[in-house]
Every structure is written in structure tokens, then in C-alpha cells.
Amino acid sequence: MSGTPQSPKPHVPLAVDLPLADESVQPEVDLKTQIVRFVATGALSAVVDFGLYVVGLAIGLPVAVAKSISFVAGTTTAYVINRRWTFQAEPSRARFIAVVALYAVTFAVQVGLNQVMYHTFPDVWWRVPLAYLIAQGTATVINFLVQRMVIFKIR
């Protein structure tokens, strides 16, 4: 002992502390519960998505760039919550790859449809929210069906 007390090393938190394994996975929840949870998660994710989209447009980003950034943030939020809460699925490399493929498809649908609707509608106050809603609604239906019937059935 040198007589000088050693201070404990500071804990540096990780950027995102996500558990790698779920020990508390419950049995599959029923369709009604999944739909309610999916809609609630979607509402939160839509706030993230639309909020970043509007901010991106406000700072002068091109429509497709603003929508791309907001899509990534919104879908990441949705996936993390849906995997754990809505579908109560364990982490899986195969599932993650399937989600990446699904999100690539819905990315193209959402950003492409938003772009088309944005430039189709007249330059009035409702153009941005209506283009967003059409694109988001289409992608949401695709996401729910594929996640429920395929992705969260993967073991």
C-alpha cells in the first residue's frame, strides 16, 4: 500500500445500451394487441420522422435528403421498439438482415412516393403533410404485414 487512495475509474456510458439477449421474452401476443402496439410505436416514430423531415426542409435540405434522414431515424426507432414490445422477439442476425431488406424496400417506396406527391401537389400549406401521410401510410401497411407474417416469425 502506498498510502495514496486510488480513485475509481469513471464509467463511460455506451452511446446506446441495447441488450444483446432478451431473457424476458413473453409468448406471442395476439393480433389486436400487436396492432395497438404497432400503431402506438408508429405514432412515436412518425413524430421523430416527420419532425426531422420538417427541420431538414426548414434548413434548406433537398426534399429527398430531408426525407432520407428522417426515414432512417424514424424506422430505427420503430424497429427497436417493435422488436422488443410489439412482437416481443429475441435478437436475431437473420431477422436483422430481413429487416434491413424490408427497410430498403420501404425506403424506396416512402422516399419515392413522398417525392412524387410533393411535386404533384400545388405549393400550398398542406402539400408537405399530405405527401408525407400518403408515403408513410403506404410504407406502414407494407411494414406491418411483412413484419408480422415473415420477420418476427424468423427464429
Per residue in 69-117, pLDDT (tens digit) is 998 999 889 888 988 898 888 888 888 889 889 989 999 999 999 999 9
Average pLDDT of the chain? 83
121: CB partners within 8 A, 6+ apart:
127, 130, 131
Name the DSSP class of 17.
-
Confidence band of 148 (pLDDT split at 50, 70, 90): confident
Share of the chain above pLDDT 90, in %: 48
CA 141 – CA 107 distance, rounded (Å): 13
At residue 13, the pLDDT reads 44
Largest CA distance in the chain: 78
C-alpha distances (whole Å) from 83 to each of 39, 51, 87 are 14, 23, 5
CA 151 – CA 138 distance, rounded (Å): 18
- Return the number of other C-beta atoms located less than 10 Å from residue 60's C-beta: 8
Q: Which helix (H) or strand (E) holds 44?
A: helix 31-58
CA 127 – CA 25 distance, rounded (Å): 42
